Amino acid sequence: MTGGEPEYEYGDDLVGSLAIIWGEGFLSPGGPEEVARLLEGTDLTGATVLDIGCGVGGVDLVLARDYHAGKVVGIDIEPPLVEKARALAEKYGLSDRIELRAVEPGPLPFADASFDAVFSKDSLIHIADKDALFAEVFRVCRAGGLFVASDWLRNSDDPPSPEMARYIESEGLSFGMASPERYRRALERAGFVGIELVNRNPWYREVARRELAALEGELGDRLARAVSPEMRDKNVAIWRNMQVVLDSGEHCPTHIKAKRP
């Protein structure tokens, strides 16, 4: 890096690798099918939806195209990702209903009660202060509005096990993981009701096992050719470390739902 250039966590190599592993537009597992499982029973037709941590925009396409959200506002702290998300929305002819904005970390740059629903897929892990986060989510959600998210939690707030520390170090991303209890408390303090948390570890534990096998085989070869052999090796190492903490139950991807009364 030369002086003055911003340093981003989700560089092109990582984004390119994750597109091969998880599909176009996704920086998280499960694709549109996992978004569908998360949104089962939720009607977003015509709704104005905030997507926190939109990444490269795959989720926003699903919200606008398959869930008929009236307007999706995707925000992210990494401007190059927002540009990619914008290009994806344009490619699929959905720019009129998907607005993408680069933001600073911290308070959400929206007026009170701006959204019918606040959504997030596997991004809140990067925001360590859960109380401040959910106070902001509550503020921008209208009365009667919904919070629906998937995120990567830990099964306790004790110091991470050595295996978890090794996994987090291999990711090289800033993780602010917390327990389901801490999420629930922060949501309650913010004023949310009807809080539901569903541990998705049993699902992702098996999906990740198949992803690791694919990375060790043909998919890994494709990644090595399309991105680099180093990124293939790095991802194999991450997945091996991740499988250990998925199998132990310490890493728990979780679905979270709540309502603003």
User: In terms of CB distance, is 26 or 192 closer to ligand SAM?
Assistant: 26
According to CB under 6 A, which one of 14, 20, 55, 72 is a site residue for ligand SAM?
55
User: In terms of CB distance, is 77 or 118 closer to ligand SAM?
Assistant: 77
CB 225, min distance to ligand SAM, A: 23
| Calculated CA dihedral for residues 131, 103, 74, 124, nearest 10 degrees | -30
DSSP reduced 3-state for 122: coil
| Structure tokens belonging to residue 108 | 């959400």
CB 261, min distance to ligand SAM, A: 25
Q: Are 74 and 48 in contact (CB under 8 A)?
A: no
- Binding mask 124-163 toward ligand SAM (x if CB under 6 A, else -) reads --xx------------------------------------
CA 44-77-99 angle, 5° bins: 40
- Binding mask 78-97 toward ligand SAM (x if CB under 6 A, else -) reads x--x----------------
For the chain, the residue count is 261
Cα 29 to chain centroid distance, Å, stands at: 9
CA distance 142 to 160: 36
CB 37, min distance to ligand SAM, A: 14
- In the bound state, the residue with its beta carbon closest to ligand SAM is 55
CB 70, min distance to ligand SAM, A: 20
Beta strands in 7-47 (DSSP E): none
Q: Residue 234 interacts with ligand SAM (CB under 6 A)? A: no
According to CB under 6 A, which one of 10, 110, 134, 167 is a site residue for ligand SAM?
10
Would you give the DSSP letter of residue 158?
A: S
DSSP reduced 3-state for 200: coil
User: Which residues in this chain contact ligand SAM in the complex, by CB under 6 A?
Assistant: 10, 26-28, 52-55, 58-59, 75-78, 81, 105, 121-123, 126-127
